Amino acid sequence: MECHAYYEGDDDPEKCTARRLERFELVTLHRSMGRVPYGVVLNPHAERALSPADAADRLVALDCSWESAGEAAFAMDGVHRALPFLVAANPINFGRPFRLTTVEALAGALRILGEDDHATRVLEPFRWGETFLELNEEPLDRYAACADSTEVVAVQSEYLE
Ligand SMILES: C[S@@+](CC[C@H](N)C(=O)[O-])C[C@H]1O[C@@H](n2cnc3c(N)ncnc32)[C@H](O)[C@@H]1O
């Protein structure tokens, strides 16, 4: 699975997970929207939740600050999908649902799509990376066993109750 990110460059470069992934050759960063390839776009505003039915060979994230991650920022072409309830393990938003870093979003998506080894690999450069998979092990296993987005949303509703 190819991992891509559009890099907006408005977040603290020291803490930016996409830049770190690029250094480890685990993601391809694009600095122009026009160069972002077509794929499954990880978009928290998308209507449909990601599920194993989303046969994908390319994931695309938008790396920017949360302040500029409004709906309009996700202007790239592709199949837009939101990640279901998952909890952040990064130190800035630890324990907070839905507000994932770029690497957590990519890893969560890879796990839901059955690419477990790849998910582990992208998290390796982060000291809290393993914690993300541990914290979310049960929901990730359950989402990965779903047939489609409707089932994923049904599982998610149990965590939101
Ligand atoms: C807003 S950026 C913040 C990046 C952060 N500065 C970093 O260093 O990783 C996080 C990106 O991850 C993806 N993402 C995060 N949470 C998500 C969710 N709940 N559903 C879908 N995509 C999500 C989106 O592409 C989003 O733009």
- Residue 114 Cα to ligand 1 midpoint, Å, equals 20
Domain count along the chain: 1
Give distance in angstroms: CA of 9 to centre of ligand 1.
Answer: 13
Question: To test the ligand 1 pocket, which listed residue (23, 100, 104, 123) has its Cβ within 8 A of the most ligand atoms?
Answer: 100
Say how far apart CA 69 and CA 124 lie, in whole Å.
25
Given this model, what pLDDT does residue 15 score?
A: 84
- What's the mean per-residue pLDDT of the chain? 95
Distance CA(91)–CA(61), nearest Å, equals 20
Annotated binding residue at 17? yes
Residue nearest to atom 8 of ligand 1 (CA): 16
pLDDT in tens, 121-147: 999 999 999 999 999 999 999 999 999
Domain that holds residue 113: 2-160
* Strand arrangement of the beta sheet that strand 79-81 belongs to: 28-30, 2-7, 58-63, 40-42, 79-81
pLDDT digits (tens, 9 = 90+) for 41-68: 999 999 999 999 998 899 999 999 999 9
Interhelix angle 102-112/116-123, rounded to 10 degrees, is 170
Query: How far apart, in whole angstroms, are the C-alpha atoms of residue 43 and residue 130?
Result: 23
Mean pLDDT for 83-91 is 97
Complex ipTM value:
0.98
Ligand 1 site, CB within 6 A = 11, 15-18, 42-44, 61-64, 66, 69, 82-83, 98, 100-102, 105
